[in-house]
Structure 1
């Protein structure tokens, strides 16, 4: 397997999801985007890839994309919220008033 860091995150605007192709399997984070906000609604990693760090790498790449595009984040997906809790440097992206416990 190529290193996860070397994989390219694709923003599939037609399907409204970020995609990471790993070993011919597609992992994805679904989103809803408004003018200045992005709601990350669902993360899905194929069972063949579970436990390999694919979801974590995909969330990291997605949050970097959010940061680089100056969007405000509303993390509706529990997996994304847990990642932010473990990596508080991304809390500044989250909409004020949303508490990541």
Structure 2
């Protein structure tokens, strides 16, 4: 899956047959807040969202960002993927 960072719209994007999938974000210092996931209905499933978030976590690692999970889906992702817990800022508990 190829993820593009659309800095103007403040969202990570990927194109699927059914349209655009995006994860909206905001920044504060060296933290990224993932605020909204927009997917066509048929892609609103745990497997696809997990793959999408794994790609975004790789970007966060590359950019040395901490990830603040705002959405329940992202909290679930962190709980199921403990390898990414190092990306959580100090003081954030799931």
Q: What pairs with 1:5-84 in structure 2 (closer than 5 Å)?
A: 7-51=1-45, 53-84=47-78
Unaligned runs of 5+ in 2: none
> C-alpha distance in 1, partners of 2:65/2:46?
28
Task: Quote the RMSD (CA, aligned, Å).
Answer: 1.5
1:44 Cα deviation (Å)?
A: 1.9
1:74/1:94 contact within 8 Å kept: yes
Unaligned runs of 5+ in 1: 1-6
Residue correspondences, number = 94
> C-alpha distance in 1, partners of 2:56/2:77?
11
TM-score (norm 1): 0.84
Equivalent residue number for residue 96 of structure 1: 90
TM-score (norm 2): 0.90
